[in-house]
Structures are given as C-alpha cells and as structure tokens.
Structure 1
Amino acid sequence: MSRTLPPLDPSAVAAAPNARAWPFEEARKVVKRAEKLGKDEVIFETGYGPSGLPHIGTFGEVLRTTMVRTAFRLLTNDQIRTRLICFSDDMDGMRKIPDNVPSREALEPYLQMPLTAVPDPWDKGYPSFGEHNNAMLRRFLDTFGFDYEFASATDYYKSGRFDDMLVRALERYDDIMAVMLPTLGAERQATYSPILPISPISGRVLYVPMKEVNAKDGTVTFTDEDGRDVTLPVAGGNVKLQWKPDFGMRWAALGVDFEMFGKDHQTNQIVYDKICSILGGTPPEHYVYELFLDDQGQKISKSKGNGISIDEWLTYASSESLALFMFQKPRTAKRLYFDVIPKAVDEYFSFAASAQGQDAAALLENPAFHIHSGLPPAYDMPVSFALLLNLATASNPETPEVMWGYISAYAPGVTPQTHPHLDALVGYAMRYFADFVEKNYRAPDEVERKALEDLSEAFAALSPDADGEAIQNAALDVAREIERYQDHSRTGPRGGPGVSGAFFQMLYQVLIGQQRGPRFGSFAALYGVENTRKLIARALGGELAGDG
C-alpha cells in the first residue's frame, strides 16, 4: 500500500467499466452522483471515535473506502480529484473511563468533558487524551500506508468551519427535532436537544434541553450546572451536535460523497440522511458492511474485548492477509478469530501470484489489485503457510534455522536473505504453531498400519530429492491397492478406481496429529523423503500417538 496515490495503468482504466468487483459497484454510484451534482472533487470519509485506541474495524473501514476510491479513480481516469478524510469525533464527551488507562481515579473529574479537554492519562506529552488517541490513529494509518487527510472535530468546531452549519441548524431547529423526536422514548423526548452546549462553568458537554433557540443572533439559552440560565453563541466551539445530527451535519458541511459504516448504524442511516438534507446537503452514497463475529459466533465488541485485535493478527500474519480478509464478502458476517489466519495468508499469496500473469480485465477482479491500490507486488514463495505449519508440527523447531534447514534442502538457493517475505512467514508460522497448533495423534488400525508400511517401502524406492509430484503419485499408487481407500465414483489414471480423500486424512491424523493439511506430497518433499519415512516408523512404533 502506497503513501501517495499511484499512477493509473491505462489498460486498467480501459477495463474498469466492465469490472464486477464490489469496489467498482460502489464507485459507479459515486461516479453517477458526481456527474449529477457537477462535482470536480469527490470526498470519501471515514469516522473514528477516539474514546479508545484504533482497532481492527478502523483498519477495515479505511481500507475498504480506499478500495472504492481506487475504483472511482479508474472509472473516471483521475479526471475528478478525490480526497479521503478520516474524521475524529474528539469533541465528544468522555462518557466512561476506559479500562486500560493507568489511573481511572485521576480521570473521574473529567467525565463528560470533551476528549480533547481530558488530560493524557499516559503522560506522553500530548495536550489531551483525545489528541493522544488521534496521534495513535495517525500513526496507525501511516503504518499501513493509507493516503488520507486527518480532521479533528475540535479543530473544526473551534476554528469556525462548522459555524454556518450550526447557525443553519438553529434556523431549522424544529425540522431537526421533527426528525429526532420520533426516534426517542417519551422520557428522552422531554429533555432532548440536538445542540449540546459546553458548560462555561465546568467545561462538560451538557445533555440539557434548550430554553431558547435564537437563530437571528445565533445563540442558545439553557440552564447551566449551577442552576443559572446561560446564553451562548453556537459559533466558535461553544456547542457541538448530538452524534446522530452531527453525522448529517458533517456530510453537509464537508460535501461528503461516500461513507461506509457497520450494520449497527443501518437503522440510523435515514436519520443521518434527513439531517443532511435539512441542512442543505445531498446525502452521500453509503455502503453498509456486516459486523465481525468472534469464535463463538457473537458480535465483536470493543468493550467485551472478544474477537481478535489488529496487533494480535499482525503477530501471526502480515497486514496484506488481513486486508484480504477485509476485502472478501464485506456484507457477510464472518468469524474473525485466530483460526482464519492461515487460510487468509495462503490465499493472499495465491492471489498475488495470479496477478502477475493476468490481463487487465482479470486483474480488476483479483483481490490483490484492490489491496495494493492497483499495484500488486510480485513474490517468490516456494512454501505455503500451511506447509510451514505442518513442517513445524512434524519437526518441533526451536529456532527459525531449523525450519530453514528443511526449506533450503527443499529449494536449493532459497535463503532468508534471498526471500525475506518467506523468512517473515517462517517467523509467523513458528509463533502461530507455538500458540495455537494442538497435536492430536491417533494410532493406526491394522489396515492403516499396512498402508503406512507400504507407503514407507514406496518412498524408499524414490530418489532422495524426489519432488512433491513424484511423492504424491507414489502415495496414490499405494492407496489404489487398498480397498478402503478406493473411490469407485472416480477413475484412476490406469482405468481403475480413484483414491478417496480418507487416505490422506488418515496420513495427517496419524503422522501430523492434524485433521487435514496441504497436499501431502508437497509436505513430504519439504520435510524430506527420509524424514517422512522416519515419521512413519515412529507412528508404527506407537511413539506419536503417545505424544498426542
């Protein structure tokens, strides 16, 4: 992912009108909007609540929006300028004290104060809690190379950039209330106001009704915390809007053309749109994505801490594999947990490899194209993540050098220096193996013992440097002679029955302690024919099932 917008490939521009990938489907809506409104600049926006540190959902939202932006650039051949604004609602009141701060007691006096008025609890030299988290957000986004503009609600409110919209909100106050009140319960209706004044006494964000709204003077009157009525101008950061009206106001003020949000916002979308229209804006195109599920199928929640964090994912795999997970089926609820990582890693490298030989039309359907904003890199990855995990399971490596011993024998000339991406993958695989791979060996029955003995004899007849294809064919030849593993629904190469997948499942259960694995011939080639025979001997001697 590049920090600056990459140039467009003319062949990709030519193929873009027929592209079917979901970012193009969304981008076409934005193109129609831009043409209808006569816009020469299109604004993509993502929102962020800095009450906590950026998380995996933040990454997904910015990444997916970037994918739509790239598709838009291709569809318009960069004839319309684009900007991506990452907006931080840092003027929101601190409604509760986060669990991860050094001293909860120290922050108690600052409850309900704007996040940019709360001291930085980590004492890292930032003026406030909100600005600390904003800095973490920017560092987070910069780490992944996103091209974006950061925007602070505090800056926008205090600098006057929202002043005209706030005065307009006073002029159309009754219209806004007519939208909001039906969405509230009776008790809340009695005290609700879309305007939240900042108390001149305490500095807190006040959820109080307005006693007077004066659009002509641009002021509101309310009862402050000491019981006295106070009149404040809405300009200059003296007030902010409730979060739902704020959504619509921001769209109108910034001229936002596209924003995506999670399914939990979907019921509020009509409210955001109506507020935007009331304030004179045209609601943007939206994209509603599904929320992630944890390993138990429950929705991931920041407060619960279930699921997987971005730091946890990046402990075991690269950001590109996470980006692939984000790209695939964003409107389908998916389990986001550690067990999805290996598949995402290998699929990413598979897509990246395919990209190198594809024509423009096929490339636009390839996730690697979207992950890398049109410039998928080339990799030489002679070993997959799944194979590395099985190699680690079989060899119990204590250091990467042990793994590289097998890899270098399997692929002469391949070293950590010549293949740094593979070296990184070795590290990821070792950490994943250590933390998650459970070995559950089982002893072979009599039929399986005979099959393993025959397999060992067949391997003994192979060349020590036999490749994965030769090893796989030798294994298939053994299986074809055993009735249990004959698949009569398929025809083998010599006219006999094919081989059931149960044969290879047995090999992984007995020899590796796993339910399944990558192509067995590829594993045996990487591990080594002689080492695989020793593994079979250990299984036949009862050593492996005893380990499990």
Structure 2
Amino acid sequence: MSAVAVTRRPPRERAMPVRLDRVAHDWCAVESGRIAALLERRGPDAGPVVFGAGFGPSGIPHIGTVSEVVRTSFVRQSFEETTGRATRFVVVVDDMDALRRVPDNLPAHSALAACLGMPLHRVPDPWGQASSLAEGMADRLRRVLDLMEVDCEVVRSSDLYRAGHHDSTIRAFLADFAEVNALVGRSVGTLRRRSYSIVMPLSPTTGRVIEHTRVLAVDPGRGTLTYEIPKDVVIQRPGLDYGLEPHEYYAGEPIGEPVTVSALGGGCKFQWKADWALRLLSGDIAYEMHGQDLADSARVVRQVFERLRREPPVLFEYGLFVDERGRKISKSAGNGFALDDAVDCLTREGLRLLLYRGPRRPRRFDLASVPRVDDAVHHEARLAREPRRGAGARLRLRRIGATTPPSGPRFASLVRVLAACAPVDHAGAVAFVERVFPPDRRPDPELVARAWRFHVRARPAPEPVVLDAAATTVLGRLADALVSSPHADPGALLHEALEGNPHVYRVLYLALLGRPRGPRLATWLRITGARRSLALVRDALSRPVSPSAHPEGGTP
C-alpha cells in the first residue's frame, strides 16, 4: 500500500488496558466491544487491527469528512486502551472516481467542465497549486487532520489499484460477477440498470472513466473484462434537464463495439458501492463510519460481504451535519459553514468535543454555533471538578485531548467585547480586550485571534448612511485635526470638532462604525490610531451628501 502522507506524530506508545467502558455513555467503548467481538469471530490474527475511512476529493472537504476521521480516531484510541492491540488507521482518497459535476464553490468552472468524466487525479487543480484536483483536496484534508492531531495514513486509491493491492479481491468479484453485479444493481434505478456494471473501465482511448457499459464477458483467471458502450441508452447527467445519447457523452469512444481490457492493475475502477466493499475487503478493515445518507449503501456492502462469504467490518452510522437552513452540508453544493472558516474560529478542543458528543444525532453546524461550541469545554472542565458527577466529563476531556483546563474569559465573553467595541483590526481587538480584562484574567492570545476572526465573519453589514451638512462639517473638522495634531488627545480633538454639538454623535457612529451606537468615541479613536481613523473619516466624507441637507438648507 503506497501512502501519500502520514501525519507527523511522536511514536504511539502501547496503552495498557483501562476499564473506561465502565463510564456511562462512552460510545467509543461500546464500539470497541463490537470490534473485539468481530475479531473473535474472524479468528486469530497477530497483525494490527485496521481502521478505515474514505474521502471523495471531488470538492472541498467539509465537516462531515473531518467528523468521520476524527470520530474513528476516538474509537481507535478506546480500542487500544481496552485491548492493548496494535492498530493502523488508513484514510483512502478516491482519486480514481470520475468528475461528474463541477461544484459551485470551485473556480475555473469552464476548465473543469472540460474534464467531466475524467478520473479526479487527472483533473487539474483549479487553483493551480497542486498536481491535480484530487491532490489539492487531499492536501486540504491533511492540513485539517494535522491541526486536529489525528494520527493516520492518507493513501491514494489510484496507487492501490495500480500497485495490484485490490487484484485478488477483484478476481473474487469477477468469479461471481453476474450475481454480485445484479445484487448491487438492484440499488439503482431501472433506467440506470440498463447500462450498469460494478466494474468501470478506464478508456484506452480517452482515459476517462466509462460508467455506462454492457458487460459481454469476464475472465477471472486472466482478470479481463469485455464490454461495450450500448447504443440504446439515454444518459442522465447531474445539472441537465435532458438526456444525452452515448455518442454525445462518450465522444471519441467506440459505441456498440466490444472492447477487452484488464480489470487488474488500475485498468478498471469499481462503481462506488462496489468500490467501498472492495476497499474494505482488500484492506481487511475492521471498523469504518458512514453518514446516515449512506445507510442503504452500507446495507448493500454488507450484502456483498455475505455473498462472498466474508465477515463484514463493524460499520457505524453517524448523524449528518446540516447548515442554517437544515440542508445536508455537501461538497458538491458547497453549502454550510466552510471548514477553513470553522478551523479559523473554533478551538481544537471545542471542535473535537462537538464531534465526540452524540455522534448519532444530526447536528447544525454554522457560524452562529461557534461560541457555544468553543465554550462547551469550559462547561466540561467545571463539571469534571465534581468528584462524583464528573466521571463522564473527565472521560470526555480525556478523549478530546484537553489535558489542560481552560482558563480566562469564555469565548462568548470575548465576542461580546469585540461586538461592543467594534475594533477595525486585530491589533485593535487585542487593545480593547486588554482594557476590559485585568492582567490576571487576560485570555490566551490565540483565543483572542479566533474571537477576532469570528467577529469579522459575524458582524452585521454596515447600515447605510447619508451624511447631512452638520455631520459633513464635523467629519471635516475631525479630519483636519487628525492631520494637524495626530499625537494629540483624541478626546480633545473630538470635542474641538463637535464644537458643542453632541447631536451628530449618531451619524458619526454610523459613518465610522456602520451602526448608530458603540464604544466611547475618544477611546475608539485612541485605540484605532490617528492614521487609520483618518482613513475611515476620509472614506466617510467621500460618500454622497443628502441633496436636502446642504449647508444652505440647515440641519434636518
């Protein structure tokens, strides 16, 4: 098996057995027991127990992908603690899959659309930073897993196919091809079934994945497949309201003619339900997770194992993550809270605790949930201090790696401070926080940085404002004062600019902060600094003045 990358971690010490399964509601210990029972049924094996996960790199990885990997790592940790057995955790990137549609949140749509049907490892990276679309998405996933401190191997599916890792299992599928193909085919629609095969050739002509075939013959001994692209089918594609003829969709391919290819060594790729079963069988996977939306597919996988007279792995079904409108978060749709934004705003411990608790329940995952998620660790730490009632909290903190209790103010408190003070940059945010909290309660600088990044994303859009003559005059005076006396006391400059007219404060707040009220303006000017304040004042002065509010008309 050829590994793309392994997250760099210190060598794992073999943990001594610990009876954490006695702690109430530890779902990881329950899963560990299911794995142990599976291994007992499978028979003696001295090798490491393999945990698995799959990732489709057709779009930007989202919280569902990360949850599957992180939660599996929790179960792996529990299994090691309770059994003392060696384990491996392999995440397979399905870069052999075909690009079926271009996700809405990717750039270079026209360039990607020209690659529809090609394996993802042969589709260019739309950002031009990686060797392919698949490699770029895998890099994104690896960065997040490193931040989450997940110890796993990330492996390309194309490497596994080409290296012959799947070949013996492929021969087993070919030996019972008609029955297995019919079994999996019953899970798709009637129209699709007319050109469905669990084995998809990689075209010798164009290199694309041939998804619509009629298999004419298989030879398990030689490992070959003879197929044709049928003339009499209509091909439905995502995003199209009409069907395509085979010669339209497979331009340049022989239509209705027999073609013989090797099914081994990467010459073919399995349809994804069969590919899931193939990967589990070839990798001797003992445990893997999947979302609720794949419950029917998991049932098909178990049926394939039963047909091949093999014991299926333990498959755990977790609840889906949904956006603020209750829709499933999806790579292809690009909806919901972007993972990059989540990593910027959420603490590692907060995100890991979110993923540990209640994994079977669907969860809303959006920007508004960030303060609650980050502060949940504070609640657990407080509960953990209780001698009798804190056992569950102590276990949860141990599972997520929160070895040091959080100190200082809560994330929600920092968010409220920044919302009230309206800093214009990170330095201003730090200054306002230092004014509010005494030295012995100062938050960690990294937490302030996360609160600032959350503030930038969550603050409301500025309210529209049309300046009147009085506000324009005051802003002009303030600009002149900031130019002539940049080091003077901001309170004195503001008093001089107002000339005893406090009624324009509301418009000043609107012009400078985008809202009708805020912190003490003198303090805000002092922390923002003369140069930045001057730029904001001049920007406000560049806006149009109300036609009915010119100097000759007076102040409305």
Structure 2-normalised TM-score?
Answer: 0.70
1:84-233 aligned at under 5 Å gives the runs: 84-124=89-129, 126=131, 128-206=132-210, 207-223=212-228, 225-227=253-255, 228-233=257-262
Check 1:108–1:181 CA distance in 2 against 1; reply closer, same or farther (3 A cut): closer
| 1:29 partnered with 2:17 | no
Counterpart CA distance in 2 for 1:116 and 1:405 is: 49
The structural deviation recorded for 1:94 is 1.2
Q: 2:414 is matched with which residue?
A: 388
Uncovered stretches (5+) of structure 1, i.e. residues with no partner: 440-512, 514-548
Counterpart CA distance in 1 for 2:74 and 2:319 is: 17
Q: 1:262 is matched with which residue?
A: 291
SS of the aligned residue for 1:46 comes to strand
SS of the aligned residue for 1:213 comes to strand
SS of the aligned residue for 1:139 comes to helix
- Checking the alignment, whether the CA contact within 8 Å between 1:251 and 1:284 is kept in structure 2 is yes
Counterpart CA distance in 2 for 1:154 and 1:271 is: 23
- Checking the alignment, whether the CA contact within 8 Å between 1:293 and 1:335 is kept in structure 2 is yes
- Checking the alignment, whether the CA contact within 8 Å between 2:61 and 2:331 is kept in structure 1 is no
Q: 2:9 is matched with which residue?
A: 3
Q: 1:325 is matched with which residue?
A: 354
Count the aligned residue pairs.
Answer: 426
The structural deviation recorded for 1:146 is 1.1
Counterpart CA distance in 2 for 1:238 and 1:8 is: 40
Check 1:433–1:218 CA distance in 2 against 1; reply closer, same or farther (3 A cut): closer
Check 1:214–1:64 CA distance in 2 against 1; reply closer, same or farther (3 A cut): same
Deviations 1:338-391 (A, max 9, x none): 22111111111332465578699926763221112xxx3214512112222333
Counterpart CA distance in 1 for 2:92 and 2:387 is: 37
Counterpart CA distance in 2 for 1:2 and 1:217 is: 41
Counterpart CA distance in 1 for 2:183 and 2:373 is: 44
Deviations 1:282-326 (A, max 9, x none): 211111111122222232233333321221223323232122222
The structural deviation recorded for 1:201 is 0.8
Deviations 1:481-524 (A, max 9, x none): xxxxxxxxxxxxxxxxxxxxxxxxxxxxxxxx9xxxxxxxxxxx
Q: 1:349 is matched with which residue?
A: 378
SS of the aligned residue for 1:53 comes to coil
- Checking the alignment, whether the CA contact within 8 Å between 1:45 and 1:86 is kept in structure 2 is yes
Residue range with higher mean Cα deviation, 195-204 or 171-180: 171-180
Q: 1:62 is matched with which residue?
A: 69
Deviations 1:263-299 (A, max 9, x none): 0000121111121333453211111111122222232
SS of the aligned residue for 1:191 comes to coil
Structure 1 counterpart of 2:432, from 403, 407, 417: 403
Counterpart CA distance in 1 for 2:433 and 2:124 is: 49
Structure 1 counterpart of 2:404, from 378, 387, 392: 378
Residue range with higher mean Cα deviation, 356-365 or 209-218: 356-365
Root mean square deviation of aligned Cα: 2.8
The structural deviation recorded for 1:195 is 1.0
What is the identity, as a one-letter code, of the residue corresponding to 2:81? L
Check 1:305–1:380 CA distance in 2 against 1; reply closer, same or farther (3 A cut): closer
- Checking the alignment, whether the CA contact within 8 Å between 1:352 and 1:377 is kept in structure 2 is no
Deviations 1:407-464 (A, max 9, x none): 553xx4455xxx6xx222223334434543679xxxxxxxxxxxxxxxxxxxxxxxxx
The structural deviation recorded for 1:67 is 0.6
Counterpart CA distance in 1 for 2:393 and 2:406 is: 22
Q: 2:45 is matched with which residue?
A: 39
- Checking the alignment, whether the CA contact within 8 Å between 1:86 and 1:150 is kept in structure 2 is yes
Counterpart CA distance in 1 for 2:55 and 2:430 is: 43
1:138-537 aligned at under 5 Å gives the runs: 138-206=142-210, 207-223=212-228, 225-227=253-255, 228-352=257-381, 355=384, 362=391, 366-372=395-401, 376-397=402-423, 399-409=428-438, 412-415=439-442, 422-436=444-458
Counterpart CA distance in 2 for 1:275 and 1:4 is: 38
- Checking the alignment, whether the CA contact within 8 Å between 2:346 and 2:370 is kept in structure 1 is yes
Counterpart CA distance in 1 for 2:99 and 2:460 is: 43
Structure 1-normalised TM-score?
Answer: 0.71
What fraction of aligned residue pairs are identical, expressed as a percent? 31
Check 1:165–1:406 CA distance in 2 against 1; reply closer, same or farther (3 A cut): same
- Checking the alignment, whether the CA contact within 8 Å between 1:54 and 1:140 is kept in structure 2 is no
The structural deviation recorded for 1:17 is 4.6
- Checking the alignment, whether the CA contact within 8 Å between 1:49 and 1:89 is kept in structure 2 is yes
- Checking the alignment, whether the CA contact within 8 Å between 2:384 and 2:390 is kept in structure 1 is no
Deviations 1:70-101 (A, max 9, x none): 1111111x2x2111110111101111234454
Q: 1:13 is matched with which residue?
A: 18
Counterpart CA distance in 2 for 1:193 and 1:384 is: 55
Check 1:133–1:2 CA distance in 2 against 1; reply closer, same or farther (3 A cut): closer
- Checking the alignment, whether the CA contact within 8 Å between 1:16 and 1:74 is kept in structure 2 is no
